[in-house]
Structure 1
Amino acid sequence: MIEAVIFDVGGVLHIYDGQLVQTEVISGLSITLDTFRQVWVSLTNKLEMGLLTEEEYWEEFKKATGSTVQLPEESLLVRGLRKSFHINTEVIEIVRRLKKQGFKLAVLSNTILPHTRYMDEIGLYDLFDRKLFSYDIGAKKPDPRTYQAALAALDISPTVGVFIDDREENVTAANQLGLNGLVYTTAEKLREDFSILGIHV
């Protein structure tokens, strides 16, 4: 019998245009797209892994790109997110119904602290019992350590847990650990998948 449900965040609980975040960084630092591309992936990966603070991230970013622009008070990483962000209300309603039925709920996300703070401010995580983020774990999905951290936080065995993500490779990794993995496409399909597991939302 299923006892807990673990949700990915971006692409499931909310939708946003990652390109806008990148555009804000390029514009905010007054750098070219080519210069941006040389450092974005490696430095942002370190931020997601908890290897850099945001202050260290920007110091390294400016040093690597040669930017001398003073950063605005609001994080460029949050500014771009906020411009395109919207909550997936259909999925949040499913979460709310799961909560009422007594399921343990968690989020498990590859993300950065500035984005987590924004989600906390708008109350996106209010319905969840546990919140697990890559920068705290020191690993990113599909690394098995991320799922193991979620299982430990919820105090459950894999077979009684459901994991939902919009990336197939992350769901495959969860399945390999014994979780009931579901690839998210639409809220309607998610309800159908839950129904197969005997959960009606």
Structure 2
Amino acid sequence: MGNTQWYLFDYGMVITDAPTPEDWLNLEDAAGVPLMDPGSPYWQHRLEFDAGRYTSVEYWSRVTGREVPESRTDLLDTLDANQWSHFNLDTLDVLEELSGQGARLALLSNMPAPMVSRFEQASWTGYFQRRYFSSKLSLVKPQREIFEHVLRDLAVEPGMVTFVDDNPANVAAAQDVGLDARLHQPGIDLQRELVPRS
């Protein structure tokens, strides 16, 4: 196993900020049901969508409680991707700095296939030498197996990976595998969170 340091970043709420209320209203208007609440069908079925076990038609039909035609899901997928596209400029500055220093950067995101296809050629993906998406792996955080897959692919010991995520469950799971996992809290300076621990 290699001894090269890697920085592994989550996407939503680390590289991006939260969707705005206007974003949610636009998506709710298109879907015809309330979605913003943490207990809404949007979130109840999300991990299955992220894992690639639902198509867009299956996911949005479950979210709305009625059959949604494929012609409609393209709009819903687009609005969904748009609301997760408000970049955290402080994080982008950190990625730029790390990249300029020659650091090895990777991405690990729970992300459904339609969103992956929209983002794969986006300019921000150029920071990352490796990109891991749940829908392509049929695994989701916080499953232990997704972190084990990343480690095998990077061919490094767990302690050589600094992982940054906003979800405490994902951070705890990564720590259980041995990664140097840091909880990113919105509004906290990411640069400070990445300072090596003594």
Question: Normalising TM by the smaller chain, what interval?
Answer: 0.7 to 0.9
| Gapped regions of structure 1 (runs ≥ 5) | none
Query: What is the aligned partner in structure 2 of residue 98 from structure 1?
Result: 98
User: Aligned partners of 1:184 and 1:123: how far apart in 2?
Assistant: 23
Query: What is the aligned partner in structure 1 of residue 55 from structure 2?
Result: 53
Superposition CA RMSD, Å: 3.1
Aligned 8 A contact 2:19 2:86 in 1: no
1:81 is displaced (CA, Å) by 4.0
Q: Pairwise mapping of residues 81-96 of structure 1 onto structure 2 (< 5 A)?
A: 81-83=81-83, 85-96=85-96
Aligned 8 A contact 2:47 2:140 in 1: no
User: Aligned partners of 1:168 and 1:68: how far apart in 2?
Assistant: 34
3-state SS of 2:48 partner: helix
1:110 is displaced (CA, Å) by 1.2
**Against the structure 1 CA distance between its residues 140 and 83, is the aligned structure 2 distance closer, same or farther, given a 3 Å change threshold?**
closer
Match of 2:16 among 14, 17, 22: 14
Aligned 8 A contact 1:96 1:127 in 2: yes
Aligned 8 A contact 2:184 2:193 in 1: no
Query: What is the aligned partner in structure 2 of residue 127 from structure 1?
Result: 127
Aligned 8 A contact 1:24 1:80 in 2: no
3-state SS of 2:46 partner: helix
> Percent of pairs identical after alignment?
21
Work out which of the two has the higher radius of gyration on C-alpha atoms and give 1 or 2: 1
Query: What is the aligned partner in structure 2 of residue 28 from structure 1?
Result: 30
Query: What is the aligned partner in structure 2 of residue 176 from structure 1?
Result: 176
The yes-or-no answer on 1:189 pairing with 2:189 is yes
User: Aligned partners of 1:190 and 1:38: how far apart in 2?
Assistant: 30
3-state SS of 1:196 partner: coil
State the one-letter code of the partner of 1:61.
R
Aligned 8 A contact 1:49 1:135 in 2: yes
Aligned 8 A contact 1:163 1:181 in 2: yes
User: Aligned partners of 1:41 and 1:73: how far apart in 2?
Assistant: 17
TM-score normalised over the length of structure 1: 0.78
1:115 is displaced (CA, Å) by 2.1
1:23 is displaced (CA, Å) by 4.2
Query: What is the aligned partner in structure 1 of residue 109 from structure 2?
Result: 109
1:180 is displaced (CA, Å) by 0.7
Aligned 8 A contact 2:57 2:73 in 1: no
**Against the structure 1 CA distance between its residues 69 and 114, is the aligned structure 2 distance closer, same or farther, given a 3 Å change threshold?**
closer
1:65 is displaced (CA, Å) by 2.0
